[in-house]
Structure 1
Amino acid sequence: MENLYEKRKKMIYEFMCDDMYVPMKIKELCIVLGVKKAERPQLEQILLDLQEEGKITLSKRGKYSKAEIKKTIGTFSAHPKGFGFVTVEGWTDDIFIPAEYVNGAMHQDTVEIEISPINTGRRKEGKIISIIERGMKQIVCTYEASENFGFAVPDNTRFGKDIFIPKEKSKGAVSGHKVVVEITNYGKGGKNPEGKVIEIIGHIDDPGTDILSIIRAYDLPMDFSEKIMHQVENVAKEVTTADMAGRMDLRDWMMVTIDGEDAKDLDDAVSLFMDGENYVLGVHIADVSNYVQEHSALDVEALKRGTSVYLVDRVVPMLPKALSNGICSLNEKQDRLTLSCIMTINKKGEIIDHKIAETVICTNRRMTYTNVKKILVDKDPDVTAEYKELVPMFEKMEELAAILRKKRMKRGSIDFDFPETKVVLDEKGRPVDIKPYDRNVATKIIEDFMLAANETVAEDYFWQEIPFVYRTHDKPDGEKISRLSMFINNFGYTLHIGTDEVHPKELQKLLMKVEGTDEESLISRLTLRSMKQAKYTTVCTGHFGLAANYYCHFTSPIRRYPDLQIHRIIKDNLRGRMNEKRRMHYESILDEVAKQASQTERRAEEAERETVKLKKCEYMENHIGEEFEGVISGVTEWGFFVELPNTVEGLVRVTDLTDDFYEFYEDSYELVGSATNRRYKLGQRVKVIVDSTDKVMRTIDFKLVQEQKTKNI
């Protein structure tokens, strides 16, 4: 029951919220409210409390008034449980929207919100006051037929309601069909939305339907128009003498491509020779801009796509295969047009000279990461003999890459070495194996060389003051770093933070300290979450994670639009065409290019993650009841996550721990049995049985098992 103080406080606040109220000093408030002299201290306390709650403000002239409620516009992200968050462009933190204030908004809607002046937790809270534009006009669903109508159950659990489909608008769909539904009425007053089926993707049991559903859900464009394909036919011709005119001819240089076994779009080649004590490293990138002309239909489509998307069973390419796998791919022993960044590097890893030029190359061999590793690490006699003329160059490459890496680490570059997942599928798209990608000496060589070229190009164009697209990574939010610092103190680690900022070297040192410990996985993940996302910008603010002042994406124009865009800028500059008119042109378009590229990159990452999670569920579905050994990778109040050696992660629910009542200790990320004192903590090895999988929610549930024989996968 409300006490008298709270009642008076509420009454005074409501009085100040009245439209007739004008700002008053405390003396005037006492007179108007009839407050006696003895009651004034209580009024002062009430006003102070209302100020601290953000409900009222005190002006410089000593007048009290209701705090102005801030309104803003953002994008609503719904949660399956009913609440959600609004993201406002340019704001660091999202606004929390309690379920009772969602006001009919649905996932991805553009909404107007009122921000509450009261902070009840870490986040600001608000309520949705209007829906400006619906975000999800089409949605992928599973159709369920009834006698006279049907319901479409959204795959996206954030879209909280099933969609009613009149029978005449079902397009003949039957139960179990994956369909694309266009929403015709979003429903009011608790009613379900209505819609019509506009596409039947396939039956849920048909091979490939699951991945196609994700492709449609993320609106990834699959096919290219006839106009674009006709344009490709016209440009995808073999390199002629005329094409080579005016270019540096590097066809007699020894160089190779190094990629994965299944790669088909080979957009970078590397060369290396010695000039006295110095290394001369060449990074040669396919000149895609020679074939994709600005403003052409092909260019407009490439910008729209932004990036190639690498799903578990296919690639959704940025460019048609006739280009990406053909004339723009640096195929073995074929003349190709390139842009080259040729760097002279001393023994300390310092780039003492460089040249960026239009070139023509002819790669000697198409190498794989596996074979380069066999030469440098395994010393495989057969593979070494097969590539004997290249072996000295590979040995020098390994030497230079180590020097570059050491220099980068010395300045504080952070290396998150989380194992990526490789899903092996059969001919019907079913997962037959899941394993971590092998990150070996060859992958690191290419990574180090590409980083060097990207930094060199970015620094060159920064100092030329030419409009450009940079790859930037802002410094972490001070509050998030402070929270990370407080958390790691529980494990005996510290971070040195100066004036709300942390140097990347501090985070690098932290990751090196936790390497090999039980808490490594959690602290690495929390450190990553404390950092901001990298993005494309036209202002060079540096790359925090790489501890680099200048960085761009220059090395993959086949699969990333920003790389293609800066190739055009470089060529205009090299050819003397970077006049005032061209500068103004680039200044007018590059902000939008950077924004579009950042958005399509996020979309691609989410789609790629979803397909991997789906196939992990499908794979473990065939192992229900089997036992495995794993490591506790996360602990929450509702249970703990266990990661298996193959990167699959599942949840052991606290409700299934029936031997005791377990409490969650947030400071140490432990579940502790109140009677037995049994503990489940990060890094602990446990044995689990696969209990269930949910392909819709993309989740896997484990149950803890007693000490028995287990199987590693």
Structure 2
Amino acid sequence: MDSFILNEKKKILLEFINSKEYQPMKFKELCNILQVPRSEKQDLKEVLLSLQDEGKILVDVKGRYKAAEENTKTGIFSGTQRGYGFVIVEGEEDDIFIPENSTKGALHNDKVMVSIKEEKTGKRREGEIIRIIERGHATIVGTFEKSKNFGFVIADNQKLGKDIFIPIEHTKGAVTGHKVVVKITDFGNQEKNPEGKIVEILGHMNDPGVDILSVIMAYDLPVEFPEGVMKQVESVPDEIDSKDMAGRKDIRHLQTVTIDGEDAKDLDDAITISKEGNLYRLGVHIADVTNYVTEDSPMDKEALKRGTSVYLVDRVIPMLPHKLSNGICSLNQGTDRLALSCFMDIDEKGNVLGHEIAETVINVDRRMTYTSVKKILEDHDEEEMKEYEELVPMFLLMKELADILREKRRKRGSIDFDFPESKILLDKKGHPIEIKPYERNTATKIIEDFMLLANETIAENFFWQELPFLYRSHENPDSEKIQQLGIFINNFGYHIKIGQDEIHPKELQKLLAKIDGTPEEALISRLTLRSMKRAKYTTDSDGHFGLATRYYCHFTSPIRRYPDLQIHRIIKENLRGGLREKRIKHYNKILADVARQTSLTERRADDAERDVEKLKKVEYMSGFIGHTFEGVISGITSWGMYVELPNTVEGMIKVVDLQDDYYIYDEGTYSMIGEHTRKTFKLGQKVTVEVIGTDMLMKTIDFALVEEKEILEEP
């Protein structure tokens, strides 16, 4: 049924069901009273089903349709390994707590209908699942355990909460320890576990590469490109065609560089810069991917399905085929390339006085690395400065402007999280041999500063043009989490001002400035980040809390992010004579779905990357069992204390392993207190721990608290 007709019929039917005259009735009665011809009964079923999925009508135990009560919501169930869960309702800030006895057998990621109870548990709403609308998973990846007459699979995703029963005839010859893919044949219920059959054996959990392959399968990350995409790739040229250069601004004469990591192959941003009097002229030039990935083509559809490239520890799952990302769309040194450019005129206070957006042809003079530029700007390395002698003035000018831009952002309250992300180094067999922080230096910050400015400038431009667009929005933090952060940092002697349940980003910025260079910097930075909400893609410019800006979008990485690719199309269409009414309607129709899809795929990529990182950290720490380290208490719950080590690895001291007293968790002060000794452990407290165990299946590291003694080594 056409979506417009469906929506009209839903509207009419909903008005009828919500009317005072309506009494709950079965499908047959509905057909009779509405005088629905036999040929249209299937259409009515489709309308009723759609209204059920939206949570607007219910079917009672007698099969009668009735209006949903006001306290009924539809959302996605997020499970936990302890059985309870939460329902996340799109567009609502607070989720709904679902006790273990009220899940109705729902599994993680199921779409459900929930009835909200009148009373609240603390500040959180509580509800009961009354219907499972759609199952979130048809297949599960996990570890097989064999019994005499059957088997079961422990899901890699602990949020599933239940093991999957496998009848002996459906084990496919799997043995204990095999990583397997299971097709669920019976989802079970509150009392009964799901049942399934093994459809693929990935290998033994200890085999090289099987752990990461399991994560890829669990998150349904598409690895191979479909045949239609690869056929389209064949028609992509190796070098740009002179016809494609027609009508473009030719800036190949400008001194142009790319600055990336040593191992980067998809170079999608280049920089030009000059200064006349007190005015800087900064050019940010982004690969024109849309010239080759046309709307609704097989490549475009696949890129939207993927949403983003996924960066795992030992591999990249790209959004676009390598022929584009490493070839024609990569701004390689010495080659003509098509770009979409944003030229900005900036004064000495960092204000953008004017800008120009243009389709361009560029030619990169040098492919620079962060390491080389750091050597020039930070270390004043003579050899490096001689190697790039003709570019040194350009880099000095870049630093000069970047410092101005960073100071301007600081004054308005932009939050700069400068804590170390983990870099995990593997050997040839995929085993972790070292965990160390990524280096963030002057060069990386310069590129960040320039990309941020281009993203802001583009977003503001399209906001004021009132054209359909895709923005990057970041809502204000949840007040409860900010209160918790305030309590946590008090343990270190810091405080933040919170006014009427809200906080200005400047307060968090001040906090990060105070902790700069302190031993607790990494921990507080990470916990501050956790207290904030996730950024997402939206069709409205809702502002970006973390950057303290009203306008923001993602423009600078179309090779690896679909939202950037999407807005490039809109920008180019607008440059070529403006968007006509038909195209405005088209973009208004599709952009909400694009925002939703790309926000979901971004979250999927983040979760997969985090899972792989956890796996490798657990594997790495398996080699340090019996060793002691100094760490900081980073979290306290009723079942134990999380401790973070200097290398960002986190493990737990279980409360049952605290032998010197019976410890009780004090929720009000986020501390663990001994019942008899009154010995207290607080967030942020330094402790010495021993690694006593690791569990690759659960992705956990167990610590034991030890008396202060010599630290054997740094992990």
1:632–1:685 CA contact under 8 A, matched in 2: yes
1:490–1:667 CA contact under 8 A, matched in 2: no
1:236–1:291 CA contact under 8 A, matched in 2: no
Extract unaligned runs of 5+ from structure 1. 1-67
Q: Deviations over 1:91-136 (max 9, x none)?
A: 1111111111112221111122211111232211111122222211
Question: In the alignment, what sits opposite 2:641?
Answer: 640
What amino acid is aligned across from residue 365 of structure 2 in structure 1?
A: N
Question: In the alignment, what sits opposite 1:87?
Answer: 88
2:425 is paired with a residue of what secondary structure? Answer: strand
Q: Deviations over 1:377-427 (max 9, x none)?
A: 112222222111111111111111111000001011111223211110111
Residue correspondence of structure 1 range 431-450 to structure 2 within 5 A: 431-450=432-451
Residue correspondence of structure 1 range 222-233 to structure 2 within 5 A: 222-233=223-234
Residue correspondence of structure 1 range 364-375 to structure 2 within 5 A: 364-375=365-376
Question: In the alignment, what sits opposite 1:389?
Answer: 390
2:159 is paired with a residue of what secondary structure? Answer: coil
**C-alpha distance 709-181 of structure 1, shift in aligned 2 (>3 A):** closer
Question: In the alignment, what sits opposite 1:551?
Answer: 552
2:171–2:198 CA contact under 8 A, matched in 1: yes
Question: In the alignment, what sits opposite 2:66?
Answer: none
Q: Deviations over 1:138-179 (max 9, x none)?
A: 100222345654322222222233323334433343333211
Q: Distance in 2 between matches of 1:190 and 1:671?
A: 34
Q: Deviations over 1:452-510 (max 9, x none)?
A: 00001111111111111011112234454456556656766554444544322222223
Q: Distance in 2 between matches of 1:153 and 1:498?
A: 46
Q: Tell me if 1:688 matches 2:689.
A: yes
Residue correspondence of structure 1 range 228-243 to structure 2 within 5 A: 228-243=229-244
Q: Tell me if 1:651 matches 2:652.
A: yes
Q: CA deviation at 1:233?
A: 1.5
Question: In the alignment, what sits opposite 2:123?
Answer: 122
Question: In the alignment, what sits opposite 2:16?
Answer: none
Structure 1 stretch displaced more, 625-634 or 535-544: 625-634
1:339–1:356 CA contact under 8 A, matched in 2: yes
2:151 is paired with a residue of what secondary structure? Answer: strand
Q: Distance in 2 between matches of 1:137 and 1:515?
A: 47
1:687–1:710 CA contact under 8 A, matched in 2: no
Question: In the alignment, what sits opposite 1:273?
Answer: 274
1:522–1:682 CA contact under 8 A, matched in 2: no
2:283–2:344 CA contact under 8 A, matched in 1: yes
Question: In the alignment, what sits opposite 1:707?
Answer: 709
Q: CA deviation at 1:235?
A: 1.5
Q: Deviations over 1:260-283 (max 9, x none)?
A: 111111111112111222211111
Q: Tell me if 1:582 matches 2:565.
A: no
Residue correspondence of structure 1 range 272-351 to structure 2 within 5 A: 272-351=273-352
Structure 1 stretch displaced more, 179-188 or 548-557: 179-188
Q: Distance in 2 between matches of 1:209 and 1:150?
A: 20
1:318–1:560 CA contact under 8 A, matched in 2: yes
Q: Distance in 2 between matches of 1:152 and 1:521?
A: 37
Question: In the alignment, what sits opposite 2:254?
Answer: 253
Question: In the alignment, what sits opposite 2:534?
Answer: 533
Q: Distance in 1 between matches of 2:480 and 2:254?
A: 52
Q: CA deviation at 1:249?
A: 1.2
Q: Tell me if 1:131 matches 2:132.
A: yes
2:267–2:332 CA contact under 8 A, matched in 1: yes
Q: Deviations over 1:351-386 (max 9, x none)?
A: 112111111111111111111111111122222221
Structure 1 stretch displaced more, 437-446 or 494-503: 494-503
**C-alpha distance 516-666 of structure 1, shift in aligned 2 (>3 A):** farther
**C-alpha distance 96-336 of structure 1, shift in aligned 2 (>3 A):** same
Over the matched positions of the two proteins, sequence identity in percent amounts to: 63
1:331 is paired with a residue of what secondary structure? Answer: coil
1:181–1:196 CA contact under 8 A, matched in 2: yes
Q: Distance in 2 between matches of 1:164 and 1:327?
A: 50
Question: In the alignment, what sits opposite 1:73?
Answer: 74
Question: What TM-score results when the alignment is normalised by the length of structure 2?
Answer: 0.86
1:268–1:285 CA contact under 8 A, matched in 2: yes
Q: Deviations over 1:612-670 (max 9, x none)?
A: 00000001111111222333333444443332222111222333333344454555544
**C-alpha distance 193-525 of structure 1, shift in aligned 2 (>3 A):** same
What amino acid is aligned across from residue 299 of structure 2 in structure 1?
A: L
Residue correspondence of structure 1 range 559-708 to structure 2 within 5 A: 559-666=560-667, 668-673=669-674, 678-705=679-706, 706-708=708-710
Q: Distance in 2 between matches of 1:479 and 1:191?
A: 36
**C-alpha distance 481-692 of structure 1, shift in aligned 2 (>3 A):** closer
What amino acid is aligned across from residue 102 of structure 2 in structure 1?
A: Y
Q: Deviations over 1:37-94 (max 9, x none)?
A: xxxxxxxxxxxxxxxxxxxxxxxxxxxxxxx772222111111111111111111111
2:119 is paired with a residue of what secondary structure? Answer: coil
Q: Deviations over 1:493-538 (max 9, x none)?
A: 5544445443222222233234455765565445434432211111
2:558–2:564 CA contact under 8 A, matched in 1: yes
Q: CA deviation at 1:298?
A: 0.5
1:284–1:338 CA contact under 8 A, matched in 2: yes
1:421–1:436 CA contact under 8 A, matched in 2: yes
Q: Distance in 1 between matches of 2:484 and 2:653?
A: 27
What amino acid is aligned across from residue 641 of structure 1 in structure 2?
A: Y
Structure 1 stretch displaced more, 299-308 or 227-236: 227-236
RMSD value, Cα: 2.3
What amino acid is aligned across from residue 178 of structure 1 in structure 2?
A: K
Question: In the alignment, what sits opposite 1:150?
Answer: 151
Q: Tell me if 1:407 matches 2:408.
A: yes
2:325–2:559 CA contact under 8 A, matched in 1: yes
1:471–1:552 CA contact under 8 A, matched in 2: yes
Question: In the alignment, what sits opposite 1:61?
Answer: none
What amino acid is aligned across from residue 310 of structure 1 in structure 2?
A: Y
Extract unaligned runs of 5+ from structure 2. 1-68
Structure showing greater Rg: 1
Question: In the alignment, what sits opposite 1:184?
Answer: 185
2:390 is paired with a residue of what secondary structure? Answer: coil
1:73–1:113 CA contact under 8 A, matched in 2: yes
2:307–2:561 CA contact under 8 A, matched in 1: yes
Q: CA deviation at 1:671?
A: 3.8
**C-alpha distance 167-324 of structure 1, shift in aligned 2 (>3 A):** same
2:579 is paired with a residue of what secondary structure? Answer: coil
Structure 1 stretch displaced more, 299-308 or 142-151: 142-151
Question: In the alignment, what sits opposite 2:503?
Answer: 502
2:353 is paired with a residue of what secondary structure? Answer: strand
**C-alpha distance 319-626 of structure 1, shift in aligned 2 (>3 A):** same
What amino acid is aligned across from residue 691 of structure 2 in structure 1?
A: V
What amino acid is aligned across from residue 315 of structure 1 in structure 2?
A: V
Q: Distance in 2 between matches of 1:675 and 1:126?
A: 38
What amino acid is aligned across from residue 243 of structure 1 in structure 2?
A: D
1:269–1:283 CA contact under 8 A, matched in 2: yes
What amino acid is aligned across from residue 457 of structure 1 in structure 2?
A: I
What amino acid is aligned across from residue 359 of structure 2 in structure 1?
A: E
Q: CA deviation at 1:570?
A: 0.7
Q: Distance in 1 between matches of 2:375 and 2:287?
A: 27
Q: Tell me if 1:165 matches 2:189.
A: no
1:97–1:125 CA contact under 8 A, matched in 2: yes
Q: Distance in 2 between matches of 1:214 and 1:562?
A: 25
2:487–2:669 CA contact under 8 A, matched in 1: no
Q: Distance in 1 between matches of 2:483 and 2:541?
A: 26
Structure 1 stretch displaced more, 522-531 or 570-579: 522-531
Question: In the alignment, what sits opposite 1:361?
Answer: 362
What amino acid is aligned across from residue 171 of structure 1 in structure 2?
A: K
Question: What TM-score results when the alignment is normalised by the length of structure 1?
Answer: 0.86
What amino acid is aligned across from residue 179 of structure 2 in structure 1?
A: K
Matched positions, count = 647
Structure 1 stretch displaced more, 525-534 or 264-273: 525-534
**C-alpha distance 578-69 of structure 1, shift in aligned 2 (>3 A):** closer
2:419–2:521 CA contact under 8 A, matched in 1: no
